[in-house]
Chain A
């Protein structure tokens, strides 16, 4: 399995609080992605990174920001969490742009 670690694995927090999710990889892959998965929607891309300090928006980026200061770490931040951001969040990596992605175990985030 690809060396991808997401933390935390589970989190419950309150509306309006900031939340940061971490994705750490040991594969030295260039591309990293954050998705959310909700019933009926499949996986939707939030943000992605194509190198250190190089990031871009996905289809559901509102309310989220990301940072990538090192190849191995990609952080997803919810500046002020809302209940609509309750979801399962997956990080994925790929070595080359249009090749298969490999996923972390996911983070279950509940915002009350």
Chain B
């Protein structure tokens, strides 16, 4: 079983739409959670950390559900520039981070 699993998509949405991604993780002892964004043929870039109480950064909201072992990312008012692959990342409090394979988002005009 993979440490982190994501729906690969693609999610095709119109500009202005709200879209949500989920990511499940297998290790209940996982401590840190992150969302990264990766543009085609580029390096992953940190989008936001995910805190137990949930957190928001502008149009982006991240939530953690420890009981069901998943994290989510909500994007409101989608922009063309949001088109990218979104990677879920989980750390188990040692030196190892586990990356999901990513969810591809296409925002259409």
Chain A contacts to B: CB under 8 angstroms: 31, 33, 35, 40-45, 48, 50, 56, 58-59, 90, 97-106
Contact = CB atoms under 8 A, between A and B. Distances in A.
B46 A102 contact: yes
Interface stretch (B14-22, B73-81, B99-107): B99-107
Give the interface centre of A50, A98, A99 by most chain B CB atoms within 10 Å: A98
23 contacts: A31-B95, A35-B99, A40-B101, A42-B99, A42-B100, A43-B99, A45-B96, A45-B97, A48-B95, A56-B95, A90-B44, A97-B95, A98-B31, A98-B91, A98-B93, A99-B32, A100-B46, A100-B49, A102-B46, A103-B44, A104-B43, A105-B42, A106-B42
B66 interface: no
B34 interface: yes
A97 B91 CA distance: 9
A31 B94 CA distance: 12
B87 interface: yes
B108 interface: no
B59 interface: no
A98 B43 CA distance: 20
A89 B97 CA distance: 16
B18 to A, nearest CB: 25
B43 A101 contact: no
Give the interface centre of B31, B32, B93, B95 by most chain A CB atoms within 10 Å: B95
A106 B43 contact: yes
Interface in B21-58: 31-32, 34, 42-46, 49
B96 A58 contact: yes
A33 B26 CA distance: 22
